[in-house]
């Protein structure tokens, strides 16, 4: 796989405490990578170092297209967590300004601004002052300004965290369209967003990488069958559950009582199914729900960050 | 160079849209015009204001035209300097606090161009405003007192504009060093007061100091020459260049607040 960005031994300490502690990773060209982790894991610090807003304490960041002495910022489009604009400018003016700062001619910046405003869906508001924009509109304008110079890498810091459900939905749709055209790195603490959009995930915990790889591979290699049982919660069923917990069969890896039922992680789903169904029928347990599924990425995520 | 011009144009647009390009010149014009007018009407003002007994007479030495202009420069030296510091106090800290600095500085923008475009805008604003204010003072002095040659006026204008520009440069430097805009304005004013005081208390030891500029401007309009002018001008230019370099270096090190 061709890598676009290569990060080696990247570290940053603030006043003695290590925010990012020597991480290594690469982003493949054309991939979409999610940077996941709980708050304070070092996601924003990592992103700020990649964009050049923060000087790393040690380590290196290199791009494939970066010739010696070239300004890395040319290759990056960045949308901060809370994008800030000059309230007295109109949306279009800001885009043209951003484009011209990236070295575009006045005409090219003008044409590209118009197209991008259309694309992010705020063409009508382009002539209005940014001071009057809503949070969702600012986020869209933020995306547009990050894309104006056709960056090789689009870096987004928690792009949907501050939005309401509708704005979130719309920005996600926009992102899934964008990821077809360029390489995307975005941070989030919402696992669901990462699952929906990304090819790769990088889970950080306390400044280190906990898990890194293609999302499908991670899911496949960490996938375990899960059994979910719920009962009506009457005395007999409760008694059966308690009794069952005392004599767990060998295929059970972890078992926990959830309200009126059970949640089991097992290694032999066939054996578990046969045995459980027979036992339930025999004991005449009042089952309301029985589900055979798999551990989700969320289980893995929680396991990784809570370790 | 194109990029610098784009940045500078944005600064201009902000000056226009924030009405700075209107209120700063108005303050300067009011300051400049009021000095010759009040000086001229002072006897009448006193006579009509005070509850003085009948027959009180005033003996005022009528100031010469150049003295009036020198007094006007004194006014600009306090209030004018204050206005310049206030109008550019948030130049860099404001962008940092609001987060626009991190939006702009992730683009391939030179830190030096970012700072110097703000500096050039400040210089344009302060010079235009001061020229208009000093022009108003000159006009009323000519109308109410007597004519003053354009050479004296022009020379002193340039010297004093340099002083205002120097204070503005200090404000921009402190604005890149400090988080608070008010603290930046205060620091710049404090330094400029210290420079002026040290220059007038110890004229020999501080003959090179930019703090001499306002004094030199006044002496230029009165005597048509000013001693030791070139050294002071040279030192001021070097100090401004150093301040801008330092400011750009600070910005490169700390482009946004949370990256401290």
> A209 and A161: one domain?
yes
Q: What is the arithmetic mean of pLDDT over A108-124? A: 92
Q: What is the arithmetic mean of pLDDT over B147-151? A: 88
> A197 and A233: one domain?
no
> According to the model, what pLDDT value does residue A70 have?
82
Locate the chain A residue with the closest alpha carbon to B18.
A88
Q: Does residue A197 register a pLDDT over 60?
A: yes
Residues of B in contact with A83 (CB under 8 A): 99, 103
> A77 and A162: one domain?
yes
> According to the model, what pLDDT value does residue A242 have?
85
pLDDT band at residue A238 using 50, 70 and 90 as cut-offs: confident
> According to the model, what pLDDT value does residue A252 have?
83
Structure tokens at B55: 């027959």
Question: Between B52 and B251, where is the model more confident?
Answer: B251
Listed residues A220, A248, A276: the one ending a domain: A220
Task: Find the CATH number of the domain harbouring A32.
Answer: 3.40.50.300
Q: What ranges do the domains of chain B cover?
A: 2-259
Decide if A87 is inside a domain. no
pLDDT band at residue B259 using 50, 70 and 90 as cut-offs: very low
Residues of B in contact with A80 (CB under 8 A): 99, 102-103
Percent of chain B having pLDDT more than 90? 72
> According to the model, what pLDDT value does residue A1 have?
60
> According to the model, what pLDDT value does residue B258 have?
62
Which domain, by its residues, includes A280?
A: 222-306
Decide if A107 is inside a domain. no
pLDDT band at residue A307 using 50, 70 and 90 as cut-offs: low
Q: Do B109 and A101 touch (CB under 8 A)?
A: yes
> A74 and A191: one domain?
yes
Separation in Å, CA of A292 to nearest CA in chain B: 47
Q: Does residue B260 register a pLDDT over 80?
A: no
| Closest CB to A53 among B14, B18, B102 | B102
Task: Find the CATH number of the domain harbouring A266.
Answer: 3.30.70
Listed residues A220, A247, A266: the one ending a domain: A220
| Closest CB to A74 among B7, B18, B108 | B108
> A73 and A159: one domain?
yes
Q: Report pLDDT digits (tens) over B26-57.
A: 999 999 999 999 999 888 887 777 666 777 77
Decide if A137 is inside a domain. no
Contact A56, A10 (CB under 8 A): yes
Q: Report pLDDT digits (tens) over A7-42.
A: 999 999 888 888 899 899 999 998 999 998 888 888
Locate the chain B residue with the closest alpha carbon to A88.
B17
Locate the chain A residue with the closest alpha carbon to B3.
A101
Residues of A in contact with B102 (CB under 8 A): 53, 80, 84
Separation in Å, CA of A108 to nearest CA in chain B: 14
> A44 and A192: one domain?
yes
> A18 and A72: one domain?
yes
Question: Between A66 and B242, where is the model more confident?
Answer: B242
Residues of B in contact with A78 (CB under 8 A): 106
Decide if A101 is inside a domain. no
Q: Do A80 and B10 touch (CB under 8 A)?
A: no
Decide if A122 is inside a domain. no
Listed residues A179, A196, A220: the one ending a domain: A220
Q: What is the arithmetic mean of pLDDT over A189-207? A: 87
Number of independent structural domains in chain A:
2
Q: Does residue A232 register a pLDDT over 90?
A: no
Q: What is the arithmetic mean of pLDDT over B146-169? A: 93
Q: Do A103 and B3 touch (CB under 8 A)?
A: yes
| Closest CB to A97 among B6, B255, B258 | B6
> A253 and A181: one domain?
no
The residue ranges of DSSP E strands in A215-272, in sequence order, are 225-231, 252-258, 261-266
> A32 and A160: one domain?
yes
Separation in Å, CA of B120 to nearest CA in chain A: 18
Q: What is the mean pLDDT of chain A?
A: 88
Structure tokens at A199: 């090819």
> A234 and A196: one domain?
no
> A295 and A158: one domain?
no
Nearest to A40 by CA among B254, B258, B98: B258
Q: What is the arithmetic mean of pLDDT over B50-71? A: 79
> A161 and A244: one domain?
no
> According to the model, what pLDDT value does residue B79 have?
93
Interface test with B, best of A13, A19, A84 (most B CBs within 10 A): A84
Q: Distances from the Cα of B234 to the Cαs of A252, A258, B160, B226, in angstroms?
A: 84, 81, 14, 14
Write the DSSP symbol of residue B158: H
Residue appearing with tokens 């009506």: A232
Decide if A212 is inside a domain. yes
Residue A127 burial by CB count (10 A; 0-12/13-18/19+): exposed, middle or buried?
exposed
Q: Do B106 and A71 touch (CB under 8 A)?
A: no
Q: Do A84 and B98 touch (CB under 8 A)?
A: yes
Q: What is the arithmetic mean of pLDDT over A52-74? A: 86
> According to the model, what pLDDT value does residue B50 have?
67
């Amino acid at each position: 796989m061709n890598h676009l960005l290569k990060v080696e031994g990247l570290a940053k300490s603030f006043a003695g405490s290590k925010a990012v502690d020597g991480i290594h990773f690469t982003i493949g060209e054309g991939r979409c990578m999610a940077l996941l982790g709980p708050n304070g894991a070092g996601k924003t610090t990592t992103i700020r170092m990649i964009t050049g807003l923060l000087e790393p304490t040690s380590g290196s960041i290199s791009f494939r297209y970066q010739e010696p002495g070239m300004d890395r910022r040319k290759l990056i489009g960045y949308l901060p967590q809370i994008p800030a604009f000059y309230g007295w400018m109109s949306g279009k003016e800001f885009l043209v300004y951003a484009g011209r700062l990236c070295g575009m001619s006045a005409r090219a910046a003008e044409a590209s601004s118009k197209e991008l405003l259309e694309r992010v869906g705020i063409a009508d508001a382009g002539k209005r002052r940014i001071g009057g924009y809503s949070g969702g509109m600012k986020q869209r304008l933020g995306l547009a300004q990050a894309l104006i110079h056709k960056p090789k890498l689009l870096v987004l810091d928690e792009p949907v965290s501050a939005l309401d459900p509708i704005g979130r939905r719309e920005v996600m749709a926009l992102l899934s369209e964008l990821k077809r055209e360029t390489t995307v790195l975005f941070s989030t603490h919402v696992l669901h967003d990462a699952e929906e959009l990304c090819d790769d995930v990088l889970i950080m915990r306390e400044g280190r990488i906990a898990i890194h790889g293609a999302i499908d591979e991670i899911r496949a290699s960490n996938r375990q069958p899960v059994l979910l049982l719920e009962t009506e919660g009457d005395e007999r069923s409760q008694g059966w559950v308690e009794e069952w917990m005392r004599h767990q069969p060998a295929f059970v890896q972890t078992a926990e009582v959830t309200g009126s039922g059970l949640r089991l992680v097992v290694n032999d789903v066939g054996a578990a199914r046969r045995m459980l169904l027979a036992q339930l029928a025999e004991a005449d347990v009042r089952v309301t729900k029985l589900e055979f599924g798999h551990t989700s990425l969320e289980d893995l995520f929680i396991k990784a960050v809570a370790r | 160079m194109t990029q610098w011009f784009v940045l500078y144009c944005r600064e201009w647009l902000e000056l226009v849209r924030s009405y700075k390009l209107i209120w700063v010149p108005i303050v300067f014009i009011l300051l400049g015009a009021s000095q010759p007018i009040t000086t001229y009407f002072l006897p009448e003002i006193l006579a009509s204001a005070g509850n003085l007994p009948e027959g009180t007479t005033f003996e005022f030495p009528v100031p010469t035209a150049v003295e009036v202009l020198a007094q006007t420069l004194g006014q600009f030296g306090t209030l004018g300097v204050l206005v310049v510091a206030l109008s550019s106090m948030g130049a860099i800290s404001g962008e940092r606090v609001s987060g626009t600095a991190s939006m702009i500085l992730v683009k391939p923008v030179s830190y030096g161009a970012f700072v110097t475009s703000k500096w050039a805008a400040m210089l344009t604003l302060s010079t235009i405003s001061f020229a208009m204010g000093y022009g108003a003072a000159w006009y009323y002095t000519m109308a109410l007192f007597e004519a003053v040659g354009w050479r004296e006026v022009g020379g002193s204008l340039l010297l004093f504009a340099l002083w205002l520009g120097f204070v503005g440069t200090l404000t921009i430097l402190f604005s890149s060093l400090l988080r608070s805009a008010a603290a930046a304005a205060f620091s710049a004013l404090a330094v400029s007061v210290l420079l002026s005081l040290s220059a007038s208390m110890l004229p020999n030891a501080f003959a090179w100091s930019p703090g001499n500029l306002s004094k030199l401007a006044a002496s230029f309009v009165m005597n048509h020459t000013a001693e030791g002018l070139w050294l002071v001008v040279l030192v001021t230019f070097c100090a401004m260049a150093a301040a801008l370099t330092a400011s750009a270096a600070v910005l490169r090190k700390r482009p946004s607040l949370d990256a401290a």
